Amino acid sequence: MSQQASPIRIGIAGFGAIGKAIARRLDDGIPGLKLTALGVRDADKARAAYTFKEPVAYVPADTLVEHCDVVVECAPAALLPEIATPVLKAGKRLLVLSSGALLQHNGLIDVARAHGGQIIVATGALLGLDAVTAAAEGTIKEIRMVSRKPPIGFAGAPYVVRNNIDLHAIKEPTLIYSGTAREAATGFPANLNVAVSLSLAGIGPDQTRLEIWADPTISRNIHRIEVDAEEARLSMEIQNVPSENPKTGRITALSAVAALRKLAAPLRVGT
């Protein structure tokens, strides 16, 4: 990209904990990128929440494609198809944070293929997806992940509701789920996108094993990953500081910003 090339126009679908943090960073200025539109339900509320230095369009999330080259999806998971489909049909790129929803809507990958679009799954609140995708080029034997959050981080999760788990009664670290990443995606749609992202980087959602602990002794969201591959053994842990949304680690938005920066940068580090 020459220095004179037009900036890549970025749209953000969802103006919550992640969307606001990404928007602020873009508004502060990132070379080669320009925030042009926000996909929101209530434009007046969004306007009141933040004043941008540069003008930004406030539009329904499913029309962002008219204003942008790249759309960042950071809205409730159920909205993924309506946000993603127009972007992919236009052959554009979509950076996805609600990666868990890709499992129920994997037809979106066919839409991307058919129209020359691209779905980019952000590393998000996780780490090491570069090394996991590298290992997946060889032979991975096993991937296990253990996630721990303060109990309040699981409030409202369908699995918790269905199993009548009283989060307030949990006084010591408690294993609340053990199973595959695929089952976790439906049981914890707002909590375990990371497990699905890991599974898509590695050996798939049915082979990736996951334990979830509700832990009142911690204040961070902790994800520990063990990968046993023929070419390497990976042992990784991330301890995330929760954002204004206690389910979401603060690093998640920064991961999206880093991914966006790489779209326009002359030097790109990491796969």
When asked if residue 94 is in the footprint of ligand NAI (CB under 6 A), the reply is no
Q: Which stretch binds ligand NAI (CB under 6 A): 76-84, 134-142, 162-170, 212-220?
A: 76-84
What residue type is assigned to position 137 of the chain?
E
Amino acid code (one letter) for 194: V
Task: Give the pair of three-digit tokens for residue 36.
Answer: 């042009």
Q: Mask 186-215, x = binds ligand NAI (CB under 6 A)?
A: ----x--xx--x------------------
- Given candidates 39, 128, 153, 205, which one binds ligand NAI under the rule CB under 6 A? 39
Q: Is 125 annotated as a binding residue?
A: yes
Contact 105, 79 (CB under 8 A): no
Q: How far is the CB of 15 from ligand OAA (least distance, A)?
A: 18
**Residue 76, binding choice from ligand NAI, ligand OAA, none, Cβ under 5 to 8 Å by partner class:** ligand NAI
Stretch that binds ligand NAI, among 86-94, 137-145, 161-169, 244-252 (CB under 6 A): 244-252
Q: Which of 36, 85, 123, 193 binds ligand OAA (CB under 6 A)?
A: 193
Residue 140 near ligand NAI by CB under 6 A? no
10, β-bridge pairs:
35, 70
Based on the shown chain and the rule CB under 6 A, indicate whether residue 255 belongs to the binding site for ligand OAA: no
Residue 28, token pair as written in the block: 């502060």
Which of 56, 125, 136, 263 touches ligand OAA by CB under 6 A?
125
Instruction: Quote the DSSP letter at residue 139.
Output: -
Residue 67 annotated as catalytic:
no
Q: Which two tokens stand for residue 51?
A: 């004043």
Q: Is 68 in the site for ligand NAI (CB under 6 A)?
A: no
How many Cα atoms within 13 Å fall on the side-chain side of residue 234? 27
Residue 259 β-bridge partners: none
Residue (56 or 74) nearer to ligand OAA, CB = 74
Write the CA distances from 177 to 30, 47, 150, 162, 185, integer angstroms: 40, 40, 14, 12, 12
Q: Beta-strand (E) ranges in 124-203?
A: 140-149, 174-180
Q: Are the CB atoms for 213 and 176 separated by under 8 Å? A: yes
Alpha-carbon span 185 to 50, nearest angstrom: 32
Query: Do the annotations mark residue 193 as ligand-binding?
Result: yes
**221 is an interface residue for ligand OAA by CB under 6 A:** yes
Three state DSSP letters for 238-266: EEECECCCCCCECHHHHHHHHHHHHHHCC
Window contacting ligand OAA (CB under 6 A); options: 39-47, 54-62, 65-73, 242-250: 242-250
In this complex, which beta carbon is closest to ligand NAI, that of residue 70 or of residue 194?
A: 194
- Joined together, the tokens standing for residue 198 give 């890991």
Q: Which of 26, 40, 94, 195 binds ligand NAI (CB under 6 A)?
A: 40
Q: Does 199 bind ligand OAA (CB under 6 A)?
A: no
What is the C-alpha separation between 149 and 145, in angstroms, rounded? 13
Q: Which residues bind ligand OAA (CB under 6 A)?
A: 125, 191-194, 221, 240, 247-249, 252
**Active site residues per annotation:** 223
Annotated binding site for NAD(+): 125, 193
